[in-house]
Structure 1
Amino acid sequence: MKWENRKASRVRLEHDYPVNLMGVDGTWRRSCILRDVSKTGAMLDVEGTTEVLRAREFFLLLSSTGLAFRRCEFVWIDGSQVGVRFVADKAARKKGHSASSG
């Protein structure tokens, strides 16, 4: 498994935590189970086809209303399990860079 290559400490969930993946343009959605998570990424079990993940970027919807979400990029796939990396918001990165350089 991919556990050994992790740079950030992960929290492995003991119970199924249902989440959804959704295309950035909103044209597709997949039900998933969140298996583990860190501040930099997550591992998911995807229901249905994983072909849509080849789009590289999508949203991980953490709430049923979609108000809690993270922008992600595809990292690896092994059957129905996928690894995703959280993508930092460009505005937040610029703000952090400005604060540290001033």
Structure 2
Amino acid sequence: MAERRKGERVTFERGIAAHMMGIDGTWRRDCTMEDISETGAKLTVEGSVEGLHLKEFFLLLSSTGLAYRRCELSWVNGDQIGVNFLKTGEKKKKASRRTAAET
């Protein structure tokens, strides 16, 4: 597979245990973070991702949920997926414009 990632990547020898969770909290999957960059990560997902809303979801990096990244699906290859990290405020900017337009 051709390298498409813009940032420098850190690869984990054994992977890092993490969890994926729907934005609305209706689903959760265990996963292993294989590598990470400033802009995204490669995950190996336990169980099927079929039927999950992966347009936007959380990648939980701690058991308490205090360390997380908001993600969107980039690619799927079997049980591995690529995700792009969404920057803080991307959705808020759109909401702010909508609110300003309504008033």
TM-score by length of 1: 0.83
Sequence identity percentage: 54
Residue correspondence of structure 1 range 85-96 to structure 2 within 5 A: 85-90=84-89
CA distance in 1, matches of 2:61, 2:35: 13
CA distance in 1, matches of 2:45, 2:62: 16
Other-structure match for 1:100: none
Structure 1 residues not aligned, in runs of 5+: 95-102
Question: 2:7 aligns to what SS in structure 1?
Answer: coil
Structure 2 residues not aligned, in runs of 5+: 94-103
Q: Which runs of 4+ in 1 moved over 6 A?
A: none
Please say if residues 53 and 74 of structure 1, whose CA atoms lie closer than 8 Å, have aligned partners that are also in contact: no
TM-score by length of 2: 0.82
Residue correspondence of structure 1 range 68-83 to structure 2 within 5 A: 68-83=67-82
Paired letter, 1:12: T
Please say if residues 54 and 74 of structure 1, whose CA atoms lie closer than 8 Å, have aligned partners that are also in contact: no
Q: What is the CA-CA distance between 1:16 and the residue it aligns to?
A: 2.6
Query: Which protein has the bigger helix share?
Result: 1
Question: 1:51 aligns to what SS in structure 2?
Answer: coil
Paired letter, 2:17: P
Q: Tell me the matched-pair count.
A: 93
Question: 2:24 aligns to what SS in structure 1?
Answer: coil
